Chains A and B, each alone.
Chain A
Amino acid sequence: MQAQQPSSTARSLAASSLACRRGDRLLFRKLSFTVKAGEALHITGANGTGKTTLMRTLAGLTTPYAGEVQREGELGLLDERPALDLDQPLGKALGFWARIDACADPSGAFSALGLRGLLEVPVRYLSTGQRKRAGLAALLSRNVPIWLLDEPLSGLDVAAIETVTRLIELHVQEGGIALIASHQRLDIEGLQTLELGDFAPAAQEEEAF
């Protein structure tokens, strides 16, 4: 009998004929895709096409208007709100999530994202890019296979963009899954692209809805 490998092929994230709305406006419909282990998907689209709504729906935070999401494996979401207590120094704020995630030593993630010198600084005083990096550090130390990244590069400087891109690439190479909603060009090997605007309802369709 073969020993059971912690099979990475069991990880996947799939949407089947997904439709989402915001308020009473239909954002996209008939959206279907499957992302398997070791794959990365870049979700593009103009402002208001529903990238964030799609991310939150895939994460299970909001229910889709139609269709469904199938997921194998644990999932982490990085969005514009990194859930760090503003009054706490960064080290303490991230330490809380390390305790929640039972991560014994989050320091590797801190240094990977260049946060070492910021651990004493209250989150309130951090810039957008620094907060983004902190959110990514929390995600990194969670060690989950599926990453949903909503605008992970916004607010980052050139060096940080390079670091984060390499981290995503590494995650995918190790059998992880990454879905990245971003306006920016992403320099990741084997990256697939999904243009969310293609799934926007036609004008008359929206009226019928």
Chain B
Amino acid sequence: MITALLKRDLAKFFPFAGGGASLPVMFFIAVAMLYPFAVGPDVNILSRTGGGVVWIAALLAAILPLEKLVAQDIELGFFDQLRLRGLTEEVMMAVRLVAHWLSFGPPLILATFPAAALLSIDGPTLHLLLLGLLAGTPGLAAIGLMIAALTASLRAGAALSGLLLVPLALPILIFGAGALARQDGASLGFVAAISLGLVAMAPFAAGAAIKASREV
């Protein structure tokens, strides 16, 4: 049952797989492309600030899929029908978290290579950037899922969810981008720890939000 659900969720969200959205990845690369135009082609400035720009682009790209992440399936009665088949909301949300991360984390990490080339990011920095994104994107996915579930039954949910993600994602950004400035991977441990905490919490928080959305 869970495999079938994960497959369906992936088909819905994975970029280039049918109806999935490749928009976050495009957006991510577009930011990396625009930045040199905005600050000029000075290699020093680009390579010094490029890593931070990639982090900001990743954070903003994480906002894009939130609108469809939960709200549509509540409207379709999807979670209701799964509940009637004995699946708990927590399991549904854990599956959704895996599908959401798989459809935006790894593609973003892959897109970091062309982005790094556009921003003249050097080898060691790229290394820290990739490790940081690998540790940080699950946390971003978890925050996104919780927000999407909480705001699903609100009319202006989509705009609100983007606004809510920014402050909550700050710790990941601070430690993730901080590692680049000091060229020191130690703070990535914090990023991983924050992500782990968020990933553990998200299915329960989002599940509770789905249940609460039924009681009107």
Contact = CB atoms under 8 A, between A and B. Distances in A.
Interface of A: 22-23, 56, 59-63, 75-77, 79, 81-88, 96-97, 99-102, 138, 142
B78 interface: yes
Interface of B: 1, 4-5, 8, 12, 18-19, 75-78, 80-85, 214-216
A83 B75 CA distance: 8
Given A77-B84, A87-B19, A62 B214 contact: yes
B85 A79 contact: no
Given A22-B216, A23-B216, A56-B214, A83 B4 contact: no
A81 B12 CA distance: 18
A31 to B, nearest CB: 19
Contact of A61 (B19, B85, B214): B214
Nearest to B75: A81
A85 B75 CA distance: 11
A96 B4 contact: yes
Nearest to B85: A100
Q: Which of A56, A59, A85, A96 has the most CB of B within 10 A?
A: A85
A24 B46 CA distance: 58
Nearest to B1: A100
Contacts, number: 54
A77 B77 CA distance: 11
Given A79-B77, A83-B78, A59 B84 contact: yes
B76 A62 contact: no
Contacts of B81: 77, 83, 97, 138
Contacts of B75: 81
A77 B80 contact: yes
Contacts of B19: 87-88
Contacts of A61: 80, 83-84, 214
Given A100-B1, A100-B5, A84 B76 contact: yes
A116 B120 CA distance: 57
A96 to B, nearest CB: 5
Contacts of A79: 77, 80
A151 to B, nearest CB: 14
A18 to B, nearest CB: 16
Contacts of B1: 100, 102
A75 B77 contact: no
Given A99-B4, A101-B85, A83 B80 contact: yes
A5 B114 CA distance: 66
Given A85-B76, A100-B5, A100-B85, 16 more contacts: A22-B216, A23-B216, A56-B214, A60-B84, A61-B80, A62-B214, A62-B215, A77-B80, A77-B81, A82-B76, A83-B77, A85-B12, A87-B19, A97-B81, A101-B85, A102-B1
Contact of B18 (A59, A75, A87, A142): A87
Contact of A96 (B8, B214, B216): B8
A96 B1 CA distance: 10
A53 B169 CA distance: 38
19 contacts: A22-B216, A23-B216, A59-B84, A60-B84, A61-B214, A75-B84, A81-B76, A82-B76, A82-B77, A85-B12, A86-B76, A96-B4, A97-B81, A99-B4, A100-B4, A100-B82, A100-B85, A102-B1, A142-B85
